[in-house]
Amino acid sequence: MAAKVKKGDRVVVTAGRNKGAKGEVLKVIPAENRVVVQGVNVVKRHQKPGQMDPGGIKTFEAPIHVSNVAIMDPRDGKPTRVGFKVDEHGRKTRYAKRSGESIDV
């Protein structure tokens, strides 16, 4: 199956406590259907010191389910669904269903 959300995509969170937040996808975890979005779902963890790490309270972005994010339309920045087209060169590309504009450049 082709991935609708990829690393580097700009997304909008559509559900949960971070609803409405916008950010860039930092990591995709396809086995769990989850994505890590910059500045979204930030959690704190207490970490013990190690040989290389001083430890302390660390903050980082936790993964959220891919169904709770929507790709931002390249034209107006609003959430959109993703479709697939085959271009004139025979490559499969993603496009925004809202505006019809291509997401893959």
**Res 58: pLDDT:** 96
pLDDT band at 95 (very low <50, low <70, confident <90, very high): very high
pLDDT band at 3 (very low <50, low <70, confident <90, very high): confident
Integer Cα distance of 98 and 24 in angstroms: 20
Burial state string for 36-65 with b = 16 or more CB within 10 A and e = fewer than 16: bbeebbeeeeeeeeeeeeeeeeeeebebbe
- Confidence check: pLDDT of 2 > 80: no
- For the stretch 44-65, pLDDT in tens is 999 999 999 999 999 999 999 9
- For the stretch 28-49, pLDDT in tens is 999 999 999 999 999 999 999 9
Residue 29 is which amino acid?
A: I
Class of domain 9-77: mainly beta
- Confidence check: pLDDT of 72 > 60: yes
Give the chain's mean pLDDT. 94
- Confidence check: pLDDT of 1 > 60: no
How far is CA 101 from its chain centroid? 19
